[in-house]
Amino acid sequence: MTWLPDDFVHPLRVVLPDGHHLRPITGDDTELDHPAVMGSRERLWSIYGEAWGWPSATLTVEADRADLVRHAEEMVAHESFNYALLDDAGTALLGCVYIDPPRKAGFDADISWWVVDERVGTPLEAALDVLVPRWIAEDWPFERPCLIGHDLSWKEWLALPDLA
């Protein structure tokens, strides 16, 4: 038994109104992902560091590729999901959306997302902030997802009791 119905098929492409899109990340995205992550590393660490220990200051291209391959394998197994936010042409990775099994009591999924530093406060970030909750509600089988950083802060989420 998994945290998702056996017949669930995860979306393969989600288009934002401006042509940007989300799609499952793969190891082949390393050349786009590594500079995006490391270029926004300090802010990403301030968000994900305490919870995930990511991204480390010494994240190598090889370690990033291994992470992305693991993410792709987890998606195939429906263990967790990592969607890359890409420009229309698929030549720039501008952020990610994570859909994970719940770690805290009271929720059936943990959802979070980010954009690269250059896109913070832009219409792209605003569009993603609108799209993700709607997409999760419409296309995913969750009754009580936690939109971490939106429904509650990361600090509030970390303070919740762990799922038994």
User: How do residues 98-123 score in pLDDT, each as one tens digit?
Assistant: 999 999 999 999 999 999 999 999 99
d(CA 5, CA 133): 20
pLDDT at 164: 75
| CATH class assigned to 14-156 | alpha beta
Which residues of the chain, if any, have pLDDT below 50?
1
First vs last C-alpha separation in the chain: 17
Going from N- to C-terminal start, the domains of the chain cover 14-156
The single residue listed with the structure tokens 């913070």 is 120
pLDDT at 1: 41
pTM to 2 decimal places = 0.96
